[in-house]
Chains A and B, each alone.
Chain A
């Protein structure tokens, strides 16, 4: 009986469908930005639209320009390891307001659990043609285990798991993919390693710090994948090389 229930859960998850443009963001023509927003189910459809569009607008504001501040400190004395990662994302309020006033929703989709919105900025530019098919998550894509590399773009992969709320899962996975991308661009690494040797044993003390403070432009989440069997969320960010600036050294 348990097996049958498990099979039913798995098959219903495997065939869970999402809009194709949420899984793979379509390529926008130069000067045009596309972004997706996702919400849970609301009784009032208008509330879902407001929240979904707000998330998509925020995503375009970050695409235009975002400050990423990352710091990871690790202390270890041979017995304990204390790691403290700090992530901070800052985007321009001016951009947000402008996008909020000059965007248009070009597609939306509703599934059993979520509402999806695809917006375009600026609104006056010609609407980008997108396919509004619902698709399944399918097989695990190769970019998760082997992140892509080419001469034009930096890539970053974000991953989180076991989130109660799908929307929060995607939000964190997207943000982590940007921070991961930042580390591929520029990273300061400091490391102190001390070994105290006595007759019979060695104690190793290490202090390690990795940090960066960057402003990146034109970075967007191009692909997403959800592992239905293990409840894992993956996002792939892409950013044109040389479209960044290093802000300050700590």
Chain B
């Protein structure tokens, strides 16, 4: 009888301890392969994102948003690199550094417009009472080139320095050239 009582007291304690483990974690076998190893393509940027939420709709929103955020960050690096190369080749040299977007090891600011950035793959896995959403965002590089040109048109300060040496059409050619090199 005493043993039975001890067991009876231990059961709630065990259940309490079992619930202290926090959110359930996804098993490695359950994680989509494209999330762990996002596919590579010459003509597109692919980035993955995931989120665990109680609401399935919110999990999907957050996973999509994280995948697109990752694309925006990748693009910013590419766009900066394109501008930097262009500025160096157009003879502006060191001034280009001062006019670049704010970017340093400690602080990174990105602001982009994504046109035609779509979710190519998506997966939803239940984990206990939660939903684990995985999203793979895909952005066509042609759209990136177009956005870079648009950004160049807007960045008057940046562009004014260069236009004495290089016409706008030449800038477009330069960016296309960089694009071809990357491909």
Contact = CB atoms under 8 A, between A and B. Distances in A.
A68 to B, nearest CB: 14
Given A186-B113, A187-B113, A194-B107, A157 B122 contact: yes
B106 A196 contact: yes
B121 interface: yes
Contacts of A128: none
B116 interface: yes
Contacts of A208: 65, 69
A183 B28 CA distance: 30
A161 interface: yes
Contact of B118 (A83, A147, A161, A188): A147
Nearest to B105: A195
Contact of B116 (A161, A184, A230): A184
Contact of A159 (B57, B106, B110, B112): B57
B68 A210 contact: yes
Interface residues of B, number: 36
Given A184-B117, A194-B107, A162 B65 contact: no
Given A145-B121, A160-B56, A193-B108, A85 B61 contact: yes
B120 A149 contact: yes
A36 to B, nearest CB: 21
Contacts of A210: 65, 68-69
Contacts of A228: none
Interface string B37-63: 000000000000000000111101110
A232 interface: yes
Interface stretch (B5-13, B123-131, B160-168): B123-131
Nearest to A147: B119
Contacts of B117: 183-184, 187
Contacts of B61: 72, 83, 85
Nearest to A74: B65
A146 B114 contact: no
Contacts, number: 107
B68 A146 contact: no
Contacts of B106: 194-197
Contacts of B57: 158-161, 172, 176
B122 A145 contact: yes
Contact of A162 (B56, B110, B123): B56
Contacts of A154: 118
B183 to A, nearest CB: 21
B178 to A, nearest CB: 22
Contacts of A145: 121-123
Nearest to B114: A187
B73 interface: yes
Interface string A185-202: 111111111111100000
Contact of A185 (B68, B110, B115, B131): B115
B118 A184 contact: yes
B72 A191 contact: yes
Interface of A: 72, 74, 83, 85, 144-147, 149, 154-155, 157-162, 172, 176, 180, 183-197, 208, 210, 230, 232
18 contacts: A83-B61, A147-B118, A149-B120, A161-B56, A183-B64, A185-B116, A188-B111, A189-B69, A189-B112, A190-B111, A191-B72, A191-B73, A191-B111, A193-B109, A194-B107, A195-B107, A208-B69, A210-B65
Given A72-B61, A159-B56, A194-B108, 12 more contacts: A83-B61, A145-B121, A149-B120, A158-B57, A159-B57, A172-B57, A176-B57, A186-B113, A189-B110, A191-B69, A193-B108, A195-B105
